[in-house]
């Protein structure tokens, strides 16, 4: 934000206007923050959970939550701050609720599900204390589609009648994207939609022969490190050549880097021979 203001000839001190806080200890300050959010003058707000209750601002694009919520209710309460400005011409803009769980979330989700499925089994009795994750969050974590799982938890009808209140009649709700763009493994994430609209985007093609090749050759540890380093540099170049917000790992995962290096090691004789021809 500092460089943005400086680039546009403004006072770099206005970064304090674009980035603000919101917590329970600063009531008067919070009022200014929320007014700035509504007007669009404030771009980023660092807030505690106090912002998730009793605050209605119609100009929130994304909500990012750091740390595990207590349960699904709390998670939805937090990301429920996403309230589009119904009168805005950009009402169709993508709005996201992003939750960053702790690194051991997969393990804790598995423990929570094990407790649920084997609560009467003595050998799983010790898991009850270890299962810190709420079962509703664990089910969302492992769900193929996060949105459908949330609908199931709250018994949302598949064919729900639209709301007929004056506001909804004047500003009909936008339809969910098809296919779904949640982070579930069987849904279509944002990056696949991006590649469909950018057919010339860089991509790495991994040969099918990479599946568990038999090792006939070997390289030194130094050569292995050099190969990994060069492939990671290639990944970085691919990342820098695009204007997307996707992570570098989208273009070339660590597993694919390892597979490519293994493929080269086990087929370098064939590759060298074909090169000579």
**pLDDT per position as a tens digit, 118-133:** 654 555 555 455 557 8
Q: Residue 272 — very low, low, confident or very high, per pLDDT cuts 50/70/90?
A: very low
Six-digit token pair at 168?
């909804």
Per-residue tokens: 119? 């609560």
Q: How far apart are CA 171 and CA 87, in angstroms?
A: 8
Beta bridge partners of 99: 65
Number of H helices and number of E strands within the chain? Answer: 13, 4
Query: Tell me: the pLDDT tens digits for 136-173?
Result: 999 999 898 898 999 999 988 877 777 888 877 877 77
Q: Which of 46, 44, 7 is nearest to 23 (CA)?
A: 46
Domain range summary for the chain, segments of one domain joined by +: 202-277
Tell me how crowded residue 84 is: count the other CB atoms within 10 A of its CB: 18
In sequence order, which residues have a C-beta less than 8 Å from that of residue 224 and are 6 or more positions away? 261
Spatial separation of the C-alpha atoms in residues 70 and 72, rounded to whole Å: 7
Q: Are 48 and 66 in contact (CB under 8 A)?
A: no
């Amino acid at each position: 934000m500092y460089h943005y203001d400086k680039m546009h000839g403004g006072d770099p001190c206005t970064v304090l206007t674009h980035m603000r806080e919101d917590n329970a200890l600063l009531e008067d300050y919070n009022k200014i923050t929320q007014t700035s959010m509504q007007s669009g003058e404030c771009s980023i707000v660092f807030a505690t959970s106090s912002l998730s209750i009793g605050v209605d601002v119609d100009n929130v694009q994304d909500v990012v939550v750091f740390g595990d919520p207590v349960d699904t209710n709390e998670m939805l309460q937090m990301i429920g701050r996403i309230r589009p400005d119904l009168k805005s011409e950009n009402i169709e803009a993508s709005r996201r609720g992003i939750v960053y769980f702790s690194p051991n979330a997969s393990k804790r989700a598995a423990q929570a599900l094990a407790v649920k499925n084997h609560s009467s089994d003595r050998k799983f009795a010790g898991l009850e204390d270890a299962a810190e994750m709420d079962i509703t969050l664990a089910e969302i974590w492992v769900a193929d589609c996060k949105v459908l799982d949330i609908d199931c938890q709250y018994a949302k009808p598949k064919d729900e009648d639209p709301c007929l209140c004056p506001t909804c009649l004047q500003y009909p709700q936008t339809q969910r994207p098809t296919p779904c763009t949640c982070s579930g493994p069987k849904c279509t994430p944002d990056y696949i939609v991006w590649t469909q609209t950018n057919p010339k985007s860089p991509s790495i093609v991994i040969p099918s022969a990479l599946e568990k090749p038999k090792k006939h050759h070997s390289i030194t540890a130094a050569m292995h490190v050099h190969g990994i380093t060069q492939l990671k540099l290639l990944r970085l170049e691919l990342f820098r050549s695009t204007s997307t917000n996707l992570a570098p790992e989208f273009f070339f995962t660590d597993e694919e880097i390892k597979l490519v290096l293994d493929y080269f090691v086990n087929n370098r004789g064939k590759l060298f021979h074909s090169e000579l021809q």
